[in-house]
Structure 1
Amino acid sequence: MAVATFDYATWSARYPDLAVNVPANLAALYFEEAQLYLDNTDRSLVCNIGQRTLLLYMLVAHIAYLNLPTTSGGNGAGVVGRVSSATRGSVSIGTDMGAQPGSAEWFLQTQYGAAFWQATLWLRTARYIHIPRVQRQTWP
């Protein structure tokens, strides 16, 4: 089975707002890091290489955004979750995602991580595998 590979031109076309601040060599390092969160081997639960590549690109975007300096729009410039409060004078906004299970909070810090979390819901759901029972022979 093949593995997903990183193509900066494709990634930057999908995430042009991030590509402005993330050079190719850094994005490639983020791709390596993304593989810590999503298996990119022939044993991956995501068998479709196209889907696995898209998911890894989402993770690269998430990691890149988390590492952007505030001068480049990083560290909370994007709004994720429902707006729970707002103020007009001196402008403030509060958002809330509610209580999240497991590692969801880390992913839900960015719109890219939230998209990854939603797209991989099926990976966090139990799978039932039916194993047929063999009929025993009874002796007369």
Structure 2
Amino acid sequence: MAAAMPDDTGGMVVFDYTAWATRYPVLAQAVAQDQAQAFFDQACLYLANTPAGPVRDLARRGMLLGLLVAHIATLELPQAQGGQAGLVGRVASATQGSVTVSTAYATLAERAAWFAQTAYGAAFWAATRGLRQARYVPDARRRMPPWG
């Protein structure tokens, strides 16, 4: 999770490593503060961290960006540190003796597949469903035809 600080930042979420580490303690054991900040900066590429972005509520945007930081961290970390060790896609099957792992990536829409690689990404994708739907906003002014 990231902390929202509306007064000083002009409507932008500022990353709070302590709050994020409290929310994701397993990942925080392997992700240093500067590395988490880099992941937060990367997360802002996927979700605009501006007052004009699609998520205006700072607390909600902070939660979503925190999920993205956890998702990116899981993808980037080695498996021994809680990451996915370079696997792309969700684990479709696994064997223990002689270690066999297979992943499935192409079963989802291209945009959703990247997020579905981790539980954090899937949670982000589900939470932002409303942002991917068109909204009709009617013009409040009534327009008269030019012919009268």
* Counterpart residue number, 1:16: 25
Q: How many residues align?
A: 135
* Counterpart residue number, 1:113: 121
* Counterpart residue number, 1:126: 134
| 1:120 aligned partner, one-letter code | T
Mapped to 1, the partners of 2:80 and 2:94 lie a distance apart of: 23
* Counterpart residue number, 1:34: 43
Aligned pairs (5 A) from 1:35-74: 35-74=44-83
Q: TM-score, normalised by structure 1?
A: 0.81
| 1:131 aligned partner, one-letter code | D
Q: TM-score, normalised by structure 2?
A: 0.77
| 2:43 aligned partner, one-letter code | A
Gaps of 5+ in 1: none
Bigger drift between 27-36 and 90-99 goes to: 90-99
> Aligned-pair distance for 1:134?
2.8
Q: Is the radius of gyration larger for structure 1 or structure 2?
A: 1
- State the Cα RMSD in Å: 2.7
1:122/1:96 Cα in 2 relative to 1: closer, same or farther (>3 Å)? same
Gaps of 5+ in 2: 1-9
Partner SS state of residue 103, structure 1? helix
